[in-house]
């Protein structure tokens, strides 16, 4: 079995396990979407029972799961109780907003973490390195929720950035350039919160990897031969540190996705996080499962990208056929 075939089987098993576990946990949770309807005197018990039967909630859990799997094959991903429509067309616009937010934050985080971590490793135990490490320690100690709330308060007091939503109410009336500016202004605050929440961890990993690589005998030998520092960094040190950093890239996607769900709720970003919270409160079963599965799918896609980069960088994996 090839390297990517193993990864594909692993991803399929993860998706299957997540879907089964989500169904079981929702089954164990008290109440359901139609529970509150029983308290409405205008609805008879027969009406509520008919609604439950219509959505298949009166059937055993394995039957409901098999029915949901058939809907996934048909491209519906179940049916929303609250919105009365298929789940996939409902969550896909939200998923695209979450994907845009996390990919932008991921790119910015790595564009900052790699040069900053390398700079700190070169100047290890000097003032610049100690300052960067101290600043990262402070950011790591601040909870993500407190960080997001702090940015919101700062935005409210200064009025520099709009608070909440993805666009302004009058967005459709603006010119094309004004629409782009309005979107970027709404985009800045949640992206900044994500970058500040994840950058310290990635910076520390890059710094540690570069310190380890710069201490290798081959790097010391290159210095002794009079090779310039910039060439050593670009041609020898960074490729040598690439494998652990590529592995960290896959893990960073999981971190960003979990952080983005919280930040979306706090900053009213119309992504999967807000829809997931609303659906959990409403106990809209299939929307919750769809949002969880979509987040898991994004995570697996990110790990696949990391696997491809690792495969291209590490000849040992290319030579592995077992």
Per-residue model confidence as pLDDT tens digits over 252-308 = 887 888 888 889 888 888 999 889 988 988 889 899 999 999 989 888 888 888 888
Q: What are residue 86's DSSP bridge partners? A: 79
Residue 286 in contact with residue 76, Cβ under 8 Å? no
pLDDT tens digits in sequence order for the chain, 322 residues long: 576 778 888 888 999 999 999 989 888 888 788 877 777 777 788 888 888 888 888 888 899 999 999 999 998 898 898 888 999 999 999 999 999 999 999 999 999 999 999 999 988 889 989 999 999 999 988 888 888 888 888 888 888 888 888 888 788 788 888 888 888 888 899 999 999 989 998 999 899 988 988 888 888 887 777 787 778 887 778 887 887 888 788 778 878 888 888 898 888 889 998 899 889 888 898 999 999 999 898 888 888 888 888 777 777 666 654 4
For 72, other C-beta atoms within 10 Å of its C-beta total 17
Residues in the chain: 322
Closest CA to 284 of 20, 84, 80: 80
Domains of the chain, CATH where assigned: 99-261 (1.10.3720.10)
Give the per-residue pLDDT at 322: 42
Give the per-residue pLDDT at 219: 82
Closest CA to 253 of 206, 312, 295, 223: 295
Give the per-residue pLDDT at 321: 47
Give the per-residue pLDDT at 318: 61
Checking phi first, is residue 268 left (phi over 0); if not, alpha (psi -120 to 50) or beta?
Answer: left
Give the per-residue pLDDT at 320: 55
Distance CA 102, CA 256 (A): 6
Query: What is the value of pTM for the model shown?
Result: 0.84
Distance CA 211, CA 237 (A): 10
Distance CA 188, CA 159 (A): 13
Q: What is the pLDDT of residues 250-264, one digit of tens each?
A: 778 878 888 888 898
Give the per-residue pLDDT at 135: 92
């Amino acid at each position: 079995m090839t390297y990517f075939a193993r990864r594909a089987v692993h991803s399929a098993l993860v998706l299957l396990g997540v879907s089964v576990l989500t169904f079981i946990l929702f089954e164990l949770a008290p109440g359901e979407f139609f529970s509150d309807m029983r308290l409405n005197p205008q609805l008879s018990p027969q009406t509520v029972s008919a609604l439950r039967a219509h959505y298949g909630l009166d059937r055993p859990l394995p039957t409901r799961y098999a029915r949901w799997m058939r809907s996934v094959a048909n491209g519906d991903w179940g049916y929303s109780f609250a919105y009365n429509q298929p789940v996939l067309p409902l969550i896909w616009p939200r998923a695209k907003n979450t994907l845009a937010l996390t990919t932008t934050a991921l790119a910015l985080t790595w564009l900052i973490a790699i040069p900053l971590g390398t700079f700190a490793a070169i100047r290890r135990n000097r003032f610049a390195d100690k300052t960067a490490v101290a600043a990262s320690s402070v950011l790591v100690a601040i909870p993500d929720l407190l960080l997001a709330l702090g940015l919101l308060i700062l935005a409210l007091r200064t009025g520099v950035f709009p608070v909440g939503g993805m666009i302004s109410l009058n967005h459709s009336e603006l010119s094309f350039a004004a629409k782009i500016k309005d979107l970027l202004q709404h985009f800045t605050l949640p992206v900044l919160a994500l970058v500040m929440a994840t950058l310290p961890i990635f910076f520390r990993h890059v710094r540690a990897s570069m310190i380890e690589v710069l201490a290798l005998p081959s790097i010391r030998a290159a210095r002794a031969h009079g090779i310039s520092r910039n060439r050593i960094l670009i041609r020898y040190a960074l490729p040598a540190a690439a494998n652990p950093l590529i592995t960290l890239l896959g893990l960073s996607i999981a971190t960003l996705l979990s952080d983005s769900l919280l930040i979306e709720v706090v900053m009213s970003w119309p992504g999967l996080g807000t829809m997931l919270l609303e659906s959990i409160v409403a106990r809209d079963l299939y929307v919750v499962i769809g949002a969880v599965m979509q987040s898991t799918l994004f995570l697996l896609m990110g790990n696949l990208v990391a696997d491809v980069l690792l495969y291209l960088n590490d000849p040992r994996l290319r030579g592995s056929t077992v």
